[in-house]
């Protein structure tokens, strides 16, 4: 059918900053230096792309350093004004107009058309004992007051035009080697991006807090406003067990395993039993992605 359209979900897991100029979204993720703890475990951010299809994870590929990626073959949303994200109370969204800081290069960049919708999923509550999560005048303090929960997963919903070239392309025009055919059950194409810790073995609360603060600092350093740095300092790592009392509805084309953190997926795919799970169950960059207006 020449005009057939298929739903595409680009599912973004922390740690990304989304710069929105009203027409497109620029996703950037920082270089977060890893470390080796006293037990010799390596705690290092991973930058991965994967496909979820037929109930399975397929085609894990690594994002390349200094690369620019583009999702092609989707219908861009045209709107005179829109709120990105839809619910700023679930994602850090500091006030002001920002640009990329030319003195700090991201690990890689994603150029995206404005999606039909951004679904903010797997909301994590912020207990009073964990406040404040952010600080810094004016940006961090404003976010702290605004934020009532944190979204772990952001699903960018698009429509694919069947007669157009579709896929994730690098800046030299090469397509990433993934399976781009629709899932036979959900009839969707679900692509995942991760920039977060994968192996959290041996991390306690103190180490999780330290890493969250370091990751947030690296992300914030990618942006500036009128030549001045974004002033937002992260303080805490939140527990993924503290689910928010109200959740945004997950689209029918996205399955529950797709909401897992990379550390959860790593543990499950490693074949460990539940009693052997050693991941901290903490967010590495305060759980969400940072949204800024250009």
Chain centroid offset of residue 192 CA: 9
Report how far residue 193's alpha carbon sits from residue 114's, in angstroms, rounded to the nearest whole number.
17
Strands 223-225 and 99-100: antiparallel
| Residue 132 to residue 145: CA distance in whole angstroms | 9
In sequence order, the β-bridge partners of residue 243 are: 124
Q: Range of 14's domain?
A: 5-293
Pick from 89, 229, 233: nearest CA to 150: 89
Which single residue is written with the structure tokens 């994200």? Answer: 85
Residue 40 CB coordination number (10 Å): 8
The whole-angstrom separation of Cα 187 and Cα 65 is: 32
Go through 210-229 and write b for each residue having 16 or more CB atoms within 10 A of its CB, e for each that does not. Answer: ebbbbbbebbbbbbbbeeeb
Tally of domains in the chain: 1
Residues of the chain with pLDDT under 50: 1
pLDDT, tens digit (0-9, with 9 covering 90-100), for 88-109: 899 888 988 999 999 999 999 9
Element (H, E) at 162: none
**What pLDDT score does 16 carry?**
96
- Its pTM stands at 0.90
Sign of the CA dihedral with 245 first, then 18, 281, and 271 last: positive
Q: How many angstroms separate the CA atoms of 154 and 220, rounded? A: 19
pLDDT digits (tens, 9 = 90+) for 5-64: 799 999 999 899 999 887 899 999 999 987 777 777 777 889 999 999 999 888 789 999
List Cα–Cα distances, 223 to 19, 101, 161, in angstroms.
9, 5, 34
């Amino acid at each position: 059918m020449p005009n057939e359209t298929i739903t595409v979900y680009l599912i973004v897991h922390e740690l990304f900053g989304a710069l929105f100029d009203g027409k497109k979204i620029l996703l950037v993720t920082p270089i977060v230096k890893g470390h080796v703890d006293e037990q010799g475990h390596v705690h290092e951010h991973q930058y991965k792309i994967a496909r979820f299809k037929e109930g399975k994870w397929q085609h894990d590929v690594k994002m390349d350093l200094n690369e620019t990626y583009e999702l092609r073959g989707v219908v861009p949303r045209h709107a005179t004004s829109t709120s990105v994200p839809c619910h700023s109370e679930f994602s850090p969204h500091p006030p002001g107009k920002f640009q990329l800081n030319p003195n700090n290069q991201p690990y890689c960049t994603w150029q995206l058309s404005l999606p039909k919708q951004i679904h903010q999923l797997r909301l994590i509550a912020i207990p009073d004992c964990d406040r404040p999560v952010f600080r810094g005048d004016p940006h961090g303090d404003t976010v702290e007051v605004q934020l009532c929960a944190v979204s772990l997963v952001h699903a960018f919903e698009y429509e694919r035009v069947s007669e157009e070239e579709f896929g994730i392309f690098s800046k030299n025009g090469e397509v990433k080697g993934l399976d781009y055919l629709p899932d036979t059950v959900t009839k969707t194409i679900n692509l995942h991006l991760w920039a977060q810790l994968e192996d959290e073995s041996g991390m306690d609360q103190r180490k999780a807090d330290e890493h969250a603060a370091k990751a947030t600092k690296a992300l914030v350093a990618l942006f500036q406003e009128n030549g001045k740095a974004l002033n937002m300092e992260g303080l805490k790592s939140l527990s993924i067990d503290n689910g928010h009392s109200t959740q945004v509805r997950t689209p029918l084309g996205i399955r529950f395993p797709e909401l897992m953190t990379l550390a959860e997926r790593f543990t499950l795919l490693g074949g460990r039993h539940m009693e052997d799970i050693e991941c901290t169950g903490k967010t590495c960059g305060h759980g969400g992605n940072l949204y800024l207006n250009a």
